[in-house]
Structure 1
Amino acid sequence: MTSVGFDEYVAHARQHFEEGLIRAGFREVEAGWEGPVPHSAVTTRVVIDLPPRFPFRPPRVAPVDHDAVPWSWHRDPDGGLCLVAEDDHEGLWWMEASAFLEHVTAWFEHADTGWTDDRPDLDLDRYFHQSTDRRLYLYDDLGQYLNRSVRFSPAGNNTMRIRHGTRPRKALKHSKDRFGYVADLGEVDVPPRTWADISARLDSNAELDRIIRQQSVAVVVLVYRRGTHEGAIVLDVAPTKEDGTAVTRLRSGADTEAARSARAGVLAPALRESRVAVVGLGALGSFIADMLVRSGVRHLTLIDDDVVMPGNLVRHLVGPDTIGLPKVEAVKRHLVRQNEALAGGIVIINGALTSGTDAVDHLRNHDLVVNATADFATTALLHVSARTVGTRVLSAALQNDGRTYRIDVLPPLDDAAPLPPSTTRADTEAPPLFEAGCGSPISPTPPHAVIEAAAVTVRHAIGLLVDRPLHPAGETRHLHSASQGSHQ
């Protein structure tokens, strides 16, 4: 689409929407388009404004009389109606005025009934302007600080971290700490928009107002609830000349185990107690271990006898600071650095898996063993051991210079047939490269193939751990890439 075509598309969309408003009884005014919205035997007059980015952003709607509509979590700080959630943009459905006005009518009808069965969004932050202090304020479990004074101290990456403490009687000359207070706002049906709204809800409002005026407190952390959900907001507060309190919001976030795992997926709680062994911590195995942890697994055994070499880094999980370390130690350091809670849950074995006794022990002591060695002898050893124990191994490998990944469930579930043997494709684009001796050549497998294969392996692993297998025998896939397209 050319720039002219784009401009014509936007102009047509705007004109089409405005014509629909005219048919619905709206008229153009200075603030936008004013007209009636009938609902529940009454009619509310609103102003609809089309933003500059329309139709790619929805129209804004505000009642002509702001106080004629009850304030709720479904109104913006400026009085506008909160109509379109961020996850409701599919198809730009609001481009049709009739459909959009039906949505506005539904909003008013929900407001008339008090928003029964409301989704408990915890978005109190949007009702306050952002502070000029752009640091990130981090807090852990706020229950230990409730109704107490705290201090925020500078930490790395432009952050401030909470800890116990009160402002000393005599100011410390070089202190960069900021002092605050943690209070419970309780159940919040209507979001507060000013300090007066907040103060009226707090049992200890007189005392908190006093220490704010004395500048003993510059930060207030508010814990609040909506139904069974809890939220928190961190505010920058300061006394004003008019004997009031100016309040803005600080950028803040919880640094807790719950916050770190909230985006791990719905199966994360079920995986928390799973015990998984990863044999082979090369490129593929390292990313498998990482994604298992990110998905919720908290008990890992890492098994490998190799060390990190400079040439490994382009495809491996770890960085140059680990060169020379055993791969199991390097991967454990990385995982623990990302999540300190893992420190006691990761066991490392700096050695190869060579005996049936060790294989059987691992199979019996873990819910799943993932083999990422790409070594025939290790794969066969684990397969035979799994048959003996009556359990299964998930074996993953990249083949054909990264053009194929193969994931085998060994032995297959429900007596299913195993995957057919993989076909080998000759690489004619470049001669093989050997680092030394008569070992195997360096594989030109690209990093993206490693990560893709690791992701699919983890999906199969999770399926086995929660007893929802993706396939009884596994999966084979041929990958396409620009550099290898001639071989497909």
Structure 2
Amino acid sequence: MSGADGWDADLLREGLVAHGFTDDGVRLRGPVPWRRAGAETWTRVEIEVDERFPFHPPHVRLLDPGAQLEVTFHVDRAARPGASGNLCLWDDVWSADRAPWTAPDALLSRIAGWLEQTAAGWPGDNVCDLERYLEADLTTFVLYDAESLARLKGHFVRTRRGPTDGTVEIWNTPHRLKKRAGRPGFSRTDRQLAWVEDLGRIRRPVRSWADIHDALGERAASVKRLIAAGSVNLVLLRYQRGDQQSVLALTVKYAADEIKVRACESADTSSQTRQMRAGTMAPQLADVPIAIVGCGAIGSFTAALLFRAGARRLTLIDHERLRPGNVVRHLAGLEQVGAWKSAAVRNCLAAIDPAIDGVRDLTTAMTSADEAKLLVQDHRIVVDATGSARATSMLAFAANTTNADAGKAVVTVCAQRDGDVVRVDRLPARGAEPLLPPLPAVDDQTELRENGCGSPVSRTPPTAVVAAAELACCVVLDEVAGHCELPTSVAFVSRPQPEQPFDHIGLVLPGPLPQDEVVK
């Protein structure tokens, strides 16, 4: 059996045979030496190499531990009762060209290390993957708030249908069972319940209802009774491994005088989890007041990127409505056509994270320099995404006449030449920083016009819109962090232009200052 070019499963098989393994053409069986309490011991394993080799490691199963060994973590659920599950020896970070399982010595060494870790109880391990030790329920996805769940230990809670098919949401308050006067059984309100328990620091996985029964203690009988009655269909178990905490969500069903337990995928909806992927600057951005003037194509994506990065004090300003023709380049979809653009963007942000109390949407037009100055004074950064020379000149005037020590900045972003060039300028300049030269507009005799819209339609494609928004966000983040690494002007050229320095593809920065103008 041959794998990808350069890897031959036959070579692995031959190497294992040389180590004392037998080979029946499908599975190899043989000894693996390892050390326990300083003494050498031997374990017999079964190794199976399938057609996915070398992109997937061989399956390895224990045949005879050779010593008293409690198999706990890092082993898959057995395919059938009484069988041994595959040992979990490697994660997914290995590429085939570096895969150590292609060499017999490396494979046997890894198995020996797994045995030694198992015998020692996996010290320092913090992998929270209890789902892998149980049969999977692939139809249910449970949503819970970890912060609330921590207060619900030993309680029944109500559940409800989630936002999509198959999702179930956990209520954040305990549910009190109601006894029916003069009749046995449970009230109609005692339906679709979940039981929440805290296992604390676990030493072995949960593999059956018997393990849960032991953890529930004196509460086990009442929980089992409600499961048998069909009132409880979920059990949520909080647990800790190492310094990590997690939740195991289980669907439970009573049948043939026993409770069948299956693990389902679950996810935390708390604000902390929603912000985990926002980036390292999220805490710093959260309290920075930022205004975005112009919530069209570029402005809408700039708002989304900043919001996703952690900005929570945003002022969105635009006096136009969202039109059907806008949608191809806009953050909002057809369902918001007719809404004010600023409101449509705020609605999109709410779909990313409902914590939008600090996001304001205004449907006003900036008509004077005084209004521009007030906007700059009230915000740490003003992003000008208007595409309007008049608005840009007013905001530039406001930026350059504001006290330099106030730490304010106006970041102007635009796409030019049908999106072939995207550009960002930050004002006021620091010292004598130069700006990139202007790129003159090119007369277009075949302007696109949309019915009912007075302004010509730009041919800038969506890719250039997103590129411009990304560049603007980079400048904003540099300004907020105080890195001062980006110059006053920065542009990206996707198609060379006749004018220098825009005559080559790539990032374009201003030239160096003359030596006598360098700020000391």
What range describes the TM-score normalised by the shorter chain of this pair? 0.7 to 0.9
Is the 8 Å Cα contact of residues 167 and 216 (structure 1) preserved in structure 2?
A: no
Question: Secondary structure of the equivalent of 1:202?
Answer: helix
Structure 1: tracts of 5 or more residues without a match: 1-5, 482-486
Deviations 1:38-66 (A, max 9, x none): 33333333222213322221212222226
Q: Distance in 1 between matches of 2:45 and 2:116?
A: 15
CA distance in 1, matches of 2:297, 2:455: 16
Contact kept? 2:415, 2:465, Cα under 8 Å: yes
Alignment equivalent of 1:237, drawn from 252, 267, 279: 252
Return the letter of the residue paired with 2:490.
E
Q: Could you say if the C-alpha distance between residues 433 and 197 of structure 1 is closer, same or farther in structure 2, counting changes exceeding 3 Å?
A: same
Aligned to 1:88: 94
Q: 1:137 aligns with which of 132, 139, 142?
A: 142
Letter in 1 for 2:60: V
2:205 and 2:483 map into 1 onto residues whose CA distance is 42
Offset at residue 265 of structure 1 (A): 2.4
Q: How many residues align?
A: 472
Partner of residue 396, structure 1 = 413
Pick closer, same or farther for the CA change 1:264–1:457 going to 2, 3 Å: same
Pair member with larger Rg: 2
In the alignment, structure 2 segments of 5+ residues that lack a partner are: 79-84, 497-503, 506-520
**2:485 and 2:74 mapped to 1: Cα distance?**
41
Q: 2:483 aligns with which of 468, 479, 486?
A: 468
Separation in 2, partners of 1:257, 1:80: 37
Contact kept, 8 Å, 1:185 with 1:198, in 2: the verdict is no
Aligned residue number for residue 123 of structure 1: 129
Residue 381 of structure 2 aligns to which amino acid in structure 1? L
Offset of residue 337 of structure 1: 3.5
1:48 counterpart residue number: 47
Find the partner of 2:243 among 228, 237, 254. Answer: 228
For 2:155, the aligned partner's letter is R
Aligned to 2:291: 277
Deviation at 1:130, TM superposition (A): 1.7
Q: 1:185 to 1:292 in 2, by over 3 A?
A: same
Q: Measure the CA separation in 1 of the matches of 2:323 and 2:72.
A: 59
Aligned mates of 2:222, 2:364 — CA distance in 1: 63
Q: Deviations over 1:131-183 (max 9, x none)?
A: 37x13332232134321112222344223222353565568999895222111
Counterpart of 1:417 in structure 2 is: 434
Structure-2 residue corresponding to 1:443: 458
Aligned CA RMSD, in angstroms, stands at 3.3
Residue 291 of structure 2 aligns to a residue whose secondary structure is strand
Task: Tell me: CA distance 1:282–1:232, structure 2 relative to 1, closer, same or farther (3 Å).
Answer: same
2:169 maps to 1:161: yes
Which has more helix, going by share of residues?
1
What is the aligned partner in structure 2 of residue 382 from structure 1? 395
1:315 to 325, 329, 332: 329
User: Match for 1:151 among 147, 158, 170?
Assistant: 158
Looking at structure 2, the residues matched to 472 and 445 of structure 1 have their Cα atoms a distance apart, in angstroms, of 25
1:320-378 superposed Cα distances (whole Å, 9 cap, x missing partner): 23222221122112222432221x21112212233333333333332322111122232
Give SS of 1:435's match: coil
Decide whether aligned partners of structure 1 residues 24 and 353 sit closer, same or farther in structure 2, where only a CA change above 3 A counts.
farther
* SS across alignment from 1:341: coil
C-alpha distance 217-381 of structure 1, shift in aligned 2 (>3 A): same
Separation (CA, whole Å) in 2 of partners of 1:468 and 1:61: 51
Q: 1:19 to 1:354 in 2, by over 3 A?
A: farther
* Equivalent position amino acid for 2:233 in 1: A
Given residue 175 of structure 2, which amino acid in structure 1 is its aligned partner? G
- Tell me the distance in 2 between the aligned counterparts of 1:354 and 1:27: 85
Tell me how far 1:195 sits from its aligned partner: 1.8
Which amino acid is the alignment partner of residue 75 of structure 2? R
| Residue 385 of structure 1: how far off its partner (Å) | 2.1
Q: Answer yes or no: is the 8 Å Cα contact 2:411–2:427 preserved in 1.
A: yes
